[in-house]
């Protein structure tokens, strides 16, 4: 896919201020997938938007990051109108196989369980980022400042003043609302004094691309080991993305192996269902944490995506939670704007917080429980979890419930996801 760039020049046009003196209705800080998705979701809202991004090149592209894209996220992208540009560059999976090391019972989820053509998708970072950049570029009410950074934020009763630096130029703009989509180390969250709760896990994740000898058959795998979950995600061109969780020291040692030694260790976890493996490109390692912000909103501020929460990568929930945040916030903002309300009013923003904070907490708790339950060799826990897998495999209603939880089909459905069947 040809790389699309955000504009390298920073020329945000000052809007003719209305009687309230606003330059923009909304400022989004962070031009990654989540921030771009929010800008695209508000394309028909009538709101004027400034999107601020510090970097032209995404580190996640350079590291070859990839994500599971769940059914609800796909529906949201369809509702926005960008899905047709994304779909040709990503892989579809139609089966998920869940297993526990050394236990013969495998739980298989498939499309017949919920009556759909697909269960989900797997996308490399650029397969989402670049179409979203092109989509937002065509949105006339969205202005992009890149490379640019926020150097100051001042919250007033009727506005938020954002000080933006690009090169040697500093400009202050007034907006009704600022949205932090600037990642887990969010400057916007920190400067607003919003605290977080959570912990760092004892594990790190190794990610890599491989090409198996045989077809992956559009199947995703989640294989639990005592050291941590091991996921295999199918990609186009019969490639697979490996997400291998292990204790920090073990993960570091694995990454320091040469390619042949690493492939030997990898093949033991991967299994022989796809034949011989070929390692593609570099391996990367990153630590894992769980984090939930005490608040998602304050007057004239909202947090979305990793700026609001982080979870364990088991089940591929992280990006999908951020996409659901976007759909919820966009719906709340558009409804308030259409009714003539102030989109930065805390009463409006609390609607978004009540919607998403509770639902995210459920998923964060679910992923934490999965990791602790399966990354464990304590015999009573092993017996309980294997009984649970056997029961799930033999009780269709339980299996369907778990599948819907994993792919986002439980909970409140945003209007964006309802726009296209």
Q: Which domains does the chain have, with CATH numbers?
A: 24-91+122-198+290-378+409-418 (3.50.50.60)
Instruction: Give 197: exposed, middle or buried? Use CB within 10 Å, 0-12, 13-18, 19+.
Output: exposed
pLDDT, one tens digit for every residue, the chain (421 residues):
444 444 433 344 433 344 457 899 999 999 999 999 999 999 999 999 999 999 888 776 767 789 999 999 999 999 999 999 999 999 999 999 999 988 889 999 999 999 999 999 999 999 999 999 999 999 999 999 999 999 999 999 999 999 999 888 999 999 999 999 999 999 999 999 999 999 999 999 999 999 999 999 999 999 999 999 999 999 999 999 999 999 999 999 999 999 999 999 999 999 899 999 999 999 999 999 999 999 999 999 999 999 999 999 999 999 999 999 999 999 999 999 999 999 999 999 999 999 999 999 999 999 999 999 999 888 999 999 999 999 999 999 999 999 999 898 988 999 999 876 5
Q: Give the predicted TM-score (pTM) of the model.
A: 0.93
Closest among 259, 318, 262 to 288, alpha carbons compared: 318
What is the separation of C-alpha 122 from the centre of its chain, rounded to a whole number of angstroms?
12
């Amino acid at each position: 896919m040809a790389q699309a760039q955000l504009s390298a020049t920073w020329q945000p046009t000052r809007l003719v201020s209305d009687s309230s003196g606003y330059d923009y209705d909304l400022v989004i800080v962070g031009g990654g997938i989540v921030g771009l998705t929010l800008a695209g979701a508000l394309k028909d809202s009538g709101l004027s938007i400034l999107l601020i991004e510090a970097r032209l090149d995404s580190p996640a592209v350079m590291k070859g990051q990839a994500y599971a894209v769940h059914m609800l996220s796909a529906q949201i992208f369809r509702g926005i109108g960008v899905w047709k540009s994304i779909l040709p560059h990503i892989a579809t999976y139609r089966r998920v196989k869940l297993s526990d090391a050394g236990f013969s019972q495998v739980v298989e989820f498939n499309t017949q369980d919920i009556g759909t053509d697909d269960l989900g998708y797997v996308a490399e970072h650029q397969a989402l980022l670049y179409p979203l950049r092109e989509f937002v570029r065509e949105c006339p009410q969205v202005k992009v400042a890149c490379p640019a950074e926020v150097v100051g934020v001042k919250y007033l009763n009727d506005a938020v003043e954002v000080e933006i630096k690009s090169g040697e130029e500093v400009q202050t703009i007034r907006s009704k609302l600022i949205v932090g989509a600037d990642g887990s180390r969010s400057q916007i969250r920190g400067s607003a004094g919003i605290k977080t709760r959570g912990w760092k896990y004892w594990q790190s994740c190794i990610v890599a691309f491989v090409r198996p000898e045989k077809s992956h058959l559009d199947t995703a795998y989640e294989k639990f080991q005592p050291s941590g979950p091991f996921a295999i995600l199918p990609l186009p061109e019969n490639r697979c993305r490996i997400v291998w969780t292990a204790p920090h020291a073990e993960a570091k040692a694995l990454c320091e192996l040469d390619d042949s030694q690493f492939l030997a260790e990898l093949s033991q976890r991967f299994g022989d269902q796809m034949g011989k493996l070929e390692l593609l490109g570099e391996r990367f390692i990153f630590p894992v944490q769980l984090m939930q912000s005490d608040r998602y909103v304050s007057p004239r501020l909202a947090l979305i995506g990793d700026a609001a929460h982080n979870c364990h990568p088991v089940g591929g929930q992280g990006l999908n939670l951020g996409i659901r945040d976007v759909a919820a916030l966009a719906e709340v903002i558009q409804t308030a704007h259409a009714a003539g309300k102030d989109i930065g009013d805390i009463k409006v923003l609390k609607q978004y917080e009540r919607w998403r904070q509770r639902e995210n907490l459920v998923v964060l708790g679910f992923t934490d429980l999965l990791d602790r339950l399966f990354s464990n060799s304590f015999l009573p826990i092993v017996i309980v979890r294997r009984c649970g897998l056997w029961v799930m495999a033999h009780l269709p209603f339980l299996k369907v419930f778990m599948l819907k939880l994993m792919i986002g089909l439980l909970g409140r459905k945003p209007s964006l996801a309802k726009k296209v069947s």
